[in-house]
Amino acid sequence: MKRLNIVLPVLNEEAVLESSIEKIERFLQNEKIPYLLTIADNDSTDSTAQIAQKLCLKSPFVEYLKISQIGVGLAFREAILHNAKRKESTNHKDMFCEFIGYMDIDLSTDIMHLSEVYERLMDGESIVVGSRLLKDSQVSGRSLKRTFTSRVLNIIMRLVLSARFNDCMCGFKFYQAPIAQRLVENCYKDNGWFYCAQMLIVAQYSNIAITQIPINWEDDSNSKVKIMRLSCEYLKQISRLFVRRIRGKLACKS
């Protein structure tokens, strides 16, 4: 069966890393989903690295990937390229993952949705992303400020870039691995959160289908995300993509 590579970007997550990894592993094993968990460490300064390495010793399906700089986009991009190299490696070819995506280590998205993601990818769907804004989604613990900001940014994405997906900020996105690699090769390098939204925009303009699924989401009250700073960065990157759209440079090169 095909393997699912779940990338977990982390930055100083010593408090939740071990419990979250063990919870994901138990679920995937019970569901009989072949997997590889990649802990992508954005240069943590606490004991995240030591805990991750201990987890790698306990399980052959957990790997540790050290990232030299901070940034979810950088972590996901490096993990995609790391997986692609496995396919060409004699020693690691058996661990190549046909599917790849990322989710938050705090498990804000209910891990039960991994089953639907895997089934849809197995059925040949190109990209499967979670959305907190679909009719059947259930969201709890999310502040009015975060909800309002998220909706405004998504409206701007639709108005400026004609985005056909409605939750660009949700940290639950999965791809057929060759498609993810192709998108990385055609996106400009941005280390932040918006890189993951950029991948979807480039996919849309390349006529690659994006499937949205409703999710159960529980907001992390201890989240390190600075919503206003993140919003300003999103607006900056949306402007940059708008210029590329005007110049006809959004679609993947054939």
The predicted model scores a pTM of: 0.94
Paired tokens of 55: 């987890």
What's the confidence (pLDDT) of residue 254? 64
What's the confidence (pLDDT) of residue 232? 86
Cα separation, 129 vs 37, in Å, equals 18
Other Cβ atoms within 10 Å of 249 Cβ, number: 14
Using CA atoms, how far residue 109 sits from 57, 102, 219, 224, in Å, is 27, 11, 9, 16
| Ranges of residues in the chain whose predicted pLDDT is under 70 | 90-92, 220-227, 254
DSSP tag of 100:
E
What tens digit of pLDDT does each residue of 114-169 get? Answer: 999 999 999 999 999 999 999 999 999 877 878 888 888 889 999 999 999 989 88
E strand intervals along 104-158: 127-131, 138-140
SS3 at position 41: strand
What's the confidence (pLDDT) of residue 225? 60
What's the confidence (pLDDT) of residue 150? 83
The answer to whether residues 39 and 64 touch, using CB atoms and an 8 Å cutoff, is yes
What's the confidence (pLDDT) of residue 87? 83
What's the confidence (pLDDT) of residue 163? 94
Q: In what order do the strands lie in the sheet with 127-131?
A: 62-67, 35-42, 4-10, 99-103, 172-176, 127-131, 210-214
SS3 at position 224: coil
The answer to whether residues 63 and 36 touch, using CB atoms and an 8 Å cutoff, is yes
Strand 35-42 with 4-10, pairing: parallel
